[in-house]
Amino acid sequence: MGVMSAIGDTVAANRTALMAATCGISRLQMFPSRFAGLMPFGEIKTSTQTLKKKWNTHEPGITRTMLLALAAFEEALTDSRLTTAQIQSPRTALIGASTVGGMCLTDELYHDANKTEDGSEYLSSYDCASVTLFLQERHKMHGIVNTINTACSSSANAILYGARLIRNGIARRAIVGGADSLAKFTINGFNALHILSPEICKPFDQNRKGLNLGEGAAFLVLEKGEDVIGKKIYAELTGFGNSNDAYHPSSLSDQGDGPYLSMKEALIAANLVATDIGFINAHGTGTENNDEVESKAMVRLFNEPPPFASTKSNIGHTLGAAGAIEAVYSILNLEHQEVYAGLNFTQPIPATGLQPVQAWKPMPLKHVMSNSFGFGGNCTSLIFSKV
Partner 1 sequence: MLYIHRATCISPQQTFPEVDMERLQPSADNKLKAIEPTYDGIPPGILRRMGKAVRIGVGAALPLLHHEPAPHGIIIGTSNGGMEDCIKFLNQIIEYEEGMLTPGNFVQSTPNAIASQISLLSNNKTYNITHVHRGLAFENALIDAFMQAKEHPAQHYLVGAVDEISTYNYNIDFLGGWYKKEPISNLDLYTTDSPGSIAGEGSAMFWTNSHPAAALARLQAIDILHTGNEEMVQQRIQRFLSKHLQPKEKIDLLITGENGDNRLLKYYTAAEATVGAKIPVARYKHMCGEYPTAVAVAFWMACHALQHPLPQHVFKHAGVQQRFNKILIYNNYRGVQHSLMLVVKA
Residues labelled as active-site residues: 152, 283, 317
Tell me the pairing of strands 361-362 and 338-339. antiparallel
Of the two residues 123 and 233, which places its CB atom closer to partner 1 in the complex?
A: 123
290 lies in the binding site for partner 1 (CB under 8 A) = no
What is the Cα–Cα distance from 190 to 302, expressed in whole angstroms?
Answer: 31
Q: How far is CA 379 from CA 14, 259, 266, 286, in A?
A: 25, 6, 11, 17
What is the Cα–Cα distance from 161 to 234, expressed in whole angstroms?
Answer: 19
Q: Which region, judged by CB under 8 A, interacts with partner 1, from 78-86, 164-172, 206-214, 355-363?
A: 164-172
229 lies in the binding site for partner 1 (CB under 8 A) = no
Of the two residues 164 and 300, which places its CB atom closer to partner 1 in the complex?
A: 164
114 lies in the binding site for partner 1 (CB under 8 A) = yes
Contact present, 25 and 18 (Cβ < 8 Å): no
**Helix and strand totals (H; E) in the chain:** 12, 12
Q: Residues 105-135, buried b or exposed e (16+ Cβ, 10 A)?
A: beebbebbeeeeeeebebeebbebbbbbbbb
Contact present, 250 and 375 (Cβ < 8 Å): yes
What is the separation, in whole angstroms, between the first and last Cα of the chain? 16
Which residue in the set 1, 39, 103, 301 belongs to the binding site for partner 1 (CB under 8 A)?
A: 103
CB of 157 to partner 1, least distance (A): 6
DSSP assignment of 41-98 equals BB---S-HHHHHHHTT--STT--HHHHHHHHHHHHHHHHHT--HHHHHSTTEEEEEE-
Contact present, 140 and 88 (Cβ < 8 Å): yes
Which residue in the set 10, 46, 57, 146 belongs to the binding site for partner 1 (CB under 8 A)?
A: 146
136 lies in the binding site for partner 1 (CB under 8 A) = yes
What is the Cα–Cα distance from 379 to 154, expressed in whole angstroms?
Answer: 10
10 lies in the binding site for partner 1 (CB under 8 A) = no
250 lies in the binding site for partner 1 (CB under 8 A) = yes
Of the two residues 129 and 235, which places its CB atom closer to partner 1 in the complex?
A: 129
What is the Cα–Cα distance from 160 to 347, expressed in whole angstroms?
Answer: 35
Find the binding residues for partner 1 in span 188-217 (CB under 8 A): 188-189, 191-193
What is the Cα–Cα distance from 175 to 223, expressed in whole angstroms?
Answer: 9
33 lies in the binding site for partner 1 (CB under 8 A) = yes
Contact present, 345 and 356 (Cβ < 8 Å): yes
Q: Which region, judged by CB under 8 A, interacts with partner 1, from 10-18, 19-27, 128-136, 351-359?
A: 128-136
Of the two residues 122 and 340, which places its CB atom closer to partner 1 in the complex?
A: 122
What is the Cα–Cα distance from 103 to 350, expressed in whole angstroms?
Answer: 39
Q: Which of 323, 344, 350, 258 is nearest to 99 (CA)?
A: 323
CB of 267 to partner 1, least distance (A): 16
Q: Which region, judged by CB under 8 A, interacts with partner 1, from 123-131, 199-207, 224-232, 338-346?
A: 123-131
Q: Which region, judged by CB under 8 A, interacts with partner 1, from 13-21, 70-78, 184-192, 336-344?
A: 184-192
- Per the DSSP assignment, residues forming a β-bridge with 146 are 95
40 lies in the binding site for partner 1 (CB under 8 A) = no
170 lies in the binding site for partner 1 (CB under 8 A) = yes
Of the two residues 73 and 161, which places its CB atom closer to partner 1 in the complex?
A: 161
Which residue in the set 49, 56, 168, 271 belongs to the binding site for partner 1 (CB under 8 A)?
A: 168
Which residue in the set 52, 91, 138, 142 belongs to the binding site for partner 1 (CB under 8 A)?
A: 142
CB of 68 to partner 1, least distance (A): 18
150 lies in the binding site for partner 1 (CB under 8 A) = yes
| Other beta carbons within 10 Å of 258 | 26
Which residue in the set 185, 300, 348, 360 belongs to the binding site for partner 1 (CB under 8 A)?
A: 185
Where along the sequence are the contacts to partner 1 (CB under 8 A)? 33-35, 90, 99, 103, 106-107, 109-110, 112-115, 118-119, 123-124, 126-130, 132-133, 136-137, 141-142, 144-151, 157, 161, 164-165, 167-168, 170, 184-185, 187-189, 191-193, 242-250, 257-258, 261, 374-378
